[in-house]
Amino acid sequence: MNLVLGGIAWILDPANMNGPSGWIARLLEQLGYTFGAVAIAAIVAIPLGYAVGHTGRGRDIAVAFSGGLRALPSLGVLILFGFALGIGFKAPMLTLVILAIPPLLAGAYAGFEAVDRRTIDAARAVGMTELQVVGKVEVPLGLPLLIGGVRSSVLQVVATATLAGYIGGGALGTFIFQGAATRNYDMMLGASILVTALALVLEGIFALLQKLVVPRGVVATGQQNVRARSSRSRAVMGSPIQEGK
Amino acid sequence: MKWLESNLDLVWELVLAHIGLSVPPILIGFLVSIPIGWLANRYRPSRGVILVVLGLLYTVPSIPLFIFMPIFLGTPLLSPVNVVVALTIYAVALMVRTAADGLASVDDDTLLAASAMGYSGWQRFWRVELPLSGPVLLSGLRVVSASTVSLATLGVIIGVQSLGYLFTNGFQRNIPAEVVTGIVATLVIAVVFDLLLVLIGRLLLPWSTPDRRRKATRRTTPALVAGGVS
């Protein structure tokens, strides 16, 4: 129990809290990495995922790609990029972007695939153009699964952003590596508590968001009816917890 | 390549250490999550509670989890036990949902038929439910295996020997070849584990795998399949 108190005392000490190398600044860096990497990854992955989901082409490649990346050790990738790009924020950012892509891609195409084929046929039958089918039917109905992808992507990135400290990229991991080097368990524990708290808060926010983005029409007619079954086999995307990290 | 040639012994030793760190979590995780998954399905309120608790456990990032372990286990910070237990927690958190889904995926009619034939609950579980949920369990186990092998590299941060050592040592000594060796070796272990799991799956669940054979049967003996389940 004394160990825990040491960690909490470290967090509460104003000397560790403020200033450019205090934990508040480091926490903001961690958030910056998280949202920066997820935003960049989203620009790449979401249109690609939508294209896969809409046309049904390239799904096997997307699945294999997501699965293969799971086994890639992020620390090794980070250090390799560190050699190429030097120390600083670039190498961690690039590593995190790569890490953020698979869940986003899976969320985007699984969202499209989950839409009942009859709903899409109906949309075409009432004269919607292909673009309208995508924009007015598939995107809104696929939104909950896409947010699920964003959620697991954020969760994975916020955890891994801790590694940035290893190559001088800042963020909360700085304290963990510094603590490990100087045998300062309080510092390691304090930073660990902060990283965990940050991850839990983000997870909570996204869980809430995921509930809020279900389109009103879907709620009104009962979620089961509109998107319960798809005639296409569903992608093995898994809920946010099933993604590796 | 030159680096690898002169350090083969070190790499081999680390590969063995890495396998030693990752096999127990995968096996224990699998064995523990089946009863928990069963429990999650058995009682209505337990499902939500179990899945939420495990979801939160999975949310705890890996490096902090390694660092928290000594508090719960009373182990020294540098003990490999910390890494094994932390990875087991992740394995369970990942696997229970799959186990619950897998067990729930068995057709109710099949279960009723088994009961009608006189299977006791215990026999029915071992002879009907477990084998029929096998393919789903296997897919979950493959995910667990890949992520465990990859996460075990992070043990090096708290000083536990694994292939991650090649990353940190390579970084400190500025040898990219060493880091690349570490990444490739980790991927090779992950692929070998995956192939082993698929192989075990083929042996234990021969009915679930090749689609090709089923198609071939259909083509040669259409009469046999015509009335069957399509």
**pLDDT tens digit string along A135-190?**
888 888 888 888 888 988 998 899 899 998 888 888 888 898 888 888 888 888 88
Q: Tell me what pLDDT residue B98 has.
A: 87
User: Residue A70: inside a domain, yes or no?
Assistant: yes
Tell me the mean pLDDT in the region B78-102.
90
Asked if residue B212 has pLDDT above 60, the reply is no
Percentage of chain B modeled with pLDDT above 70: 90
Across the interface, of B158, B171, B190, the residue whose CB is closest to A180 is B158
Q: Tell me what pLDDT residue A217 has.
A: 65
Percentage of chain A modeled with pLDDT above 70: 87
User: Residue A160: inside a domain, yes or no?
Assistant: yes
Q: Tell me what pLDDT residue B91 has.
A: 92
Asked if residue B229 has pLDDT above 80, the reply is no
| DSSP state letter for A164 | G
The span from the CA of A95 to the CA of A75, in Å, is 9
Q: Which residues fall within 8 angstroms of residue B150, CB to CB, at 6 or more apart? A: A70, A71, A72, A73, A74, A244, B186, B190
User: Residue A1: inside a domain, yes or no?
Assistant: no
User: Residue A208: inside a domain, yes or no?
Assistant: yes
User: Residue A19: inside a domain, yes or no?
Assistant: no
| Record: contact B143-A239, CB cut-off 8 A | no
The span from the CA of B42 to the CA of B1, in Å, is 55
Q: Which residues fall within 8 angstroms of residue A14, CB to CB, at 6 or more apart? A: none
Compare all CA atoms of chain B with the CA of A82 and give the residue at the minimum distance.
B171
- Total structural domains in chain A? 1
Q: A114-123, pLDDT tens digit by residue?
A: 888 888 889 9
Provide the chain A residues 159-188 that lie in CB contact (below 8 A) with chain B.
159-160, 162-163, 166-167, 173, 176-177, 180, 185, 188
| Record: contact B171-A82, CB cut-off 8 A | yes
ipTM: 0.81
The span from the CA of B168 to the CA of A7, in Å, is 26
Across the interface, of A75, A176, A242, the residue whose CB is closest to B143 is A242
Provide the chain B residues 87-116 that lie in CB contact (below 8 A) with chain A.
93-94, 97-98
Interface test mutation site (partner B, options A23, A79, A239, max chain B beta carbons within 10 A): A79
Comparing A210 with A191, which gets the higher pLDDT?
A191
Tell me the mean pLDDT in the region B59-65.
88
Q: Tell me what pLDDT residue B207 has.
A: 76
Comparing A58 with A224, which gets the higher pLDDT?
A58
Compare all CA atoms of chain A with the CA of B51 and give the residue at the minimum distance.
A241
Please name the residue ranges forming H helices in chain A.
2-12, 14-17, 23-55, 59-70, 74-85, 90-113, 117-125, 130-132, 139-160, 173-182, 185-212, 216-221, 223-227
A204 CB within 8 Å of a chain B CB: no
- The CATH number linked to A130 is 1.10.3720.10
| Record: contact A75-B164, CB cut-off 8 A | yes
Name the residue range of residue A144's domain: 25-242
Burial readout B55-75 (b: 16 or more C-beta within 10 A, e: otherwise): beebbbbbbbbbbbbbeeeee
For residue A217, the distance in angstroms to the closest alpha carbon of chain B comes to 26
Asked if residue B73 has pLDDT above 60, the reply is yes
Asked if residue A242 has pLDDT above 50, the reply is no
| Record: contact B97-A241, CB cut-off 8 A | yes
* Residue pair B167/A73 in contact by the 8 Å Cβ criterion: yes
Q: A99-140, pLDDT tens digit by residue?
A: 899 889 888 888 888 888 888 889 989 988 888 888 888 888
Percentage of chain B modeled with pLDDT above 90: 31
Domains present along chain B, CATH in parentheses: 2-221 (1.10.3720.10)
Q: pLDDT band for A1, please (50, 70, 90 cuts).
A: low
Tell me the mean pLDDT in the region A29-47.
92
Q: Which residues fall within 8 angstroms of residue A189, CB to CB, at 6 or more apart? A: A3, A4, A6, A7, A10, A179, B67, B68, B71
